[in-house]
Structure 1
Amino acid sequence: MKITRTILLILLAFLGLGAIGGGGVFIISPSGALFGMPLSMLAHSPFTNFLIPGIILFIVLGLVPCGLVVALLRKSKSELAERFNFYPDMHWAWTGSIYVGFALIIWIQVEMVFLQAVNWLHTVYMFLAIAILFVALLPTVRSLYKK
């Protein structure tokens, strides 16, 4: 049981720390210069620079997964988070991990449309999203977070 939970925690932490780093770089350098990404990459998006995508990346795929790691370890209570829990028989942080998996899939799909390109990293992060969902939905993990 703890092995599968540990895998979920590692997957969420990997996503969160990477997104904090990537989003942070875009916040610091909205021109994309620190990553060597020209603003022309955003020609088919509603953005003129990388600031807003960086903020979204930093918060939604960075801070949220890291916060979920802590919440899954502590099984902390949150009335606010419970309001968004579509699985009332499950701990809100477990539900949050499902949401994060889908958020990552949406992020990657939207990114590919806006960039009109597919990079090998898109494939890596799509597999990461699938892995998060798969591990979170394993019966052993579900039983740990059942109320």
Structure 2
Amino acid sequence: MNQRVKETIKPSAGAGTAKSGKRPAAVMFLYVLQFFLGVGAIGGGLALIIDPSGSMMGMPADTVLQRSPFSSFLFPGILLLAVFGVFPLLVLYGMVKRPRWAWADAFNPFKELHSAWTLSLYVGFGQIIWIMVETYIMNAVSLVHVFYMSLGLLIQIATLLPSVQRFFQLPHGPGSYRR
């Protein structure tokens, strides 16, 4: 690889890197997306747990869940609360504080990037899959589905932006957080 290409892709210690501590606008946008998904899913998950019939949310279980293995919204509500409510907020914490999580490192194939970056990518994939399965089960697509599918795609896009990847790149050298 020639020197010019190396310099282009090499992260700098300047503004917008984890080393400088300055957060690029794209990183802040990703924080907002993860927060919004987490808070929204906690609300939706709690509503489904409190009222597993779905009537509180205008989704009668007997008709909406006909193509699913569930007779009520209790289990889907628990999944929604945990996987898309609590987990994105945990990922957000990891992105902000960048702790060393051995459990998350085990799922991170991108060893040069902090595991919270990888978990953010997984949240986006998971959200897209969740909405696809939900629309299949419900045999319908609503504006809510389009919105949350778009949210999953935005999380993917924001996570993959070069400035975000540079920000979550791990430092090299003695005492650095390397796996």
- Give unpaired runs (5+ residues) of structure 1: none
Q: What's the CA shift for 1:34?
A: 1.4
Shift of 1:37: 1.4
Whichever of the two has the greater Rg, that structure is 2
Partner residue, 1:22: 44
Measured after TM superposition, the shift of residue 36 of structure 1 is 2.1
Counterpart of 1:144 in structure 2 is 167
How do residues 19-98 of structure 1 correspond to structure 2 at under 5 angstroms?
19-39=41-61, 40-98=63-121
Deviation per CA, 1:50-106: give whole Å up to 9, x if none: 011101111111111011111101011110111111211111110000000000000
What is the alpha-carbon distance in structure 2 between the residues aligned to residue 77 and residue 51 of structure 1? Answer: 34
1:125 and 1:36 mapped to 2: Cα distance? 18
Distance 1:41 1:93 in 2: 35
Match for residue 114 of structure 1?
137
Give the TM-score normalised by structure 2. 0.80
Aligned match of 1:99: 122
The aligned residue for residue 131 of structure 1 is: 154
Misfit runs of 4+, over 6 Å: none
Q: Choose between structure 1 and 2: higher helix proportion.
A: 1
Tell me the percent identity.
Answer: 41
**Residues in 2 aligned to 1:37 and 1:118: alpha-carbon distance in whole angstroms:** 13
* RMSD of equivalent CA atoms: 0.8
Using the TM superposition, give the Cα deviation of residue 35 of structure 1 relative to its aligned residue in structure 2, in angstroms: 1.1
Query: Can you give the 5+ residue segments of structure 2 that lack an aligned partner in the other structure?
Result: 1-15, 17-23, 171-179
- Aligned-pair distance for 1:19? 0.3
**1:44 partner SS:** coil
- Find the aligned partners of 2:154 and 2:137 in 1 and give their Cα distance: 24
Distance 2:116 2:91 in 1: 6
Corresponding residue for 1:5?
Answer: 27
User: For the residues of structure 2 that align with 1:86 and 1:46, how far apart are their CA atoms?
Assistant: 33
**Matches of 2:109 and 2:139, distance apart in 1:** 33
